Structure 1
Amino acid sequence: MQQINSIEEFHQFITSHPLVIVHVMRENCSVCHAVLPQIEMMLKDYPDVPLGVINQTHLEEIAGELSIFTVPVDLIYLEGKEMHRQGRFIDMQAFEHQLNQMADYVFKDE
């Protein structure tokens, strides 16, 4: 898991890897803190997919950059482009289904 603390770090993170997950949260959000371990557990099956965590409490401008109106928000980026987004109530099965499809595409030759 990588903590992302600036817009520049965010752009560097999503373009440095072919497939990434970004979790946007706030400090006093109990749902955010409950979802994060579920995402981390899911990613144990995807060792080549890094997780970036943005604490919006410390990086308010990420809301405008990503058009975020509520937290948590979990995003999947493929080759630097947002491909899937879920906010507030995260359907882990649907999220993993999307991740699995993209991982099959990215890592098909491995």
Structure 2
Amino acid sequence: MEKIKTYNDLLEKIKNEEKFLLYIKSEGCSVCEADFPKVKEITDKNNYLAYYIQADEMAEAVGQLNLYTAPVVILFYNGKEIHRQARFIDFLELDYRIKQTL
């Protein structure tokens, strides 16, 4: 899973990628660290493009995407957000939603 470092890079991904998962984590968040490999396993298994950002390093994204908790998983499809889970991630639901876009 590749890290996106700037808000402009994130906007480019949303504009140009057909579909991808965005994982948002924050510094010192133990749940974020525990869930990260589980989300990565799901995206790898489905051969699904995935990126992550550190919320505390990208304040503009936090405001624009309403990322006021962590972790957050967002699925983008054709430039639109089609699914979001925050704080408590249902991995079966996430896998199902990813498969819907394949």
TM class by shorter chain equals over 0.9
> 1: CA distance between counterparts of 2:44 and 2:68?
29
Aligned 1:28-67 pairs, distance under 5 A: 28-47=28-47, 49-67=48-66
Aligned letter for 1:58?
E
- Find the counterpart in structure 2 of residue 27 from structure 1: 27
Q: Name the larger-Rg structure.
A: 1
> How many residue pairs are counted as aligned between the two chains?
102
TM-score by length of 1: 0.87
- Find the counterpart in structure 2 of residue 6 from structure 1: 6
For the 8 Å contact 2:55–2:67, the answer to whether it is kept is no
Q: Deviations over 1:18-60 (max 9, x none)?
A: 110000110100001111100111112222x211111012112
> 2: CA distance between counterparts of 1:46 and 1:36?
16
Structure 1: tracts of 5 or more residues without a match: 104-110
TM-score by length of 2: 0.93
Q: Deviations over 1:56-82 (max 9, x none)?
A: 121122111101221100000001100
CA RMSD of aligned residues (A): 1.0
Alpha-carbon offset, residue 85 of structure 1: 0.1
> 2: CA distance between counterparts of 1:9 and 1:97?
27
For the 8 Å contact 2:25–2:52, the answer to whether it is kept is yes
The percentage of counterpart residues that share the same residue type is 27
> 2: CA distance between counterparts of 1:5 and 1:90?
23
- Find the counterpart in structure 1 of residue 84 from structure 2: 85
> 1: CA distance between counterparts of 2:40 and 2:55?
19
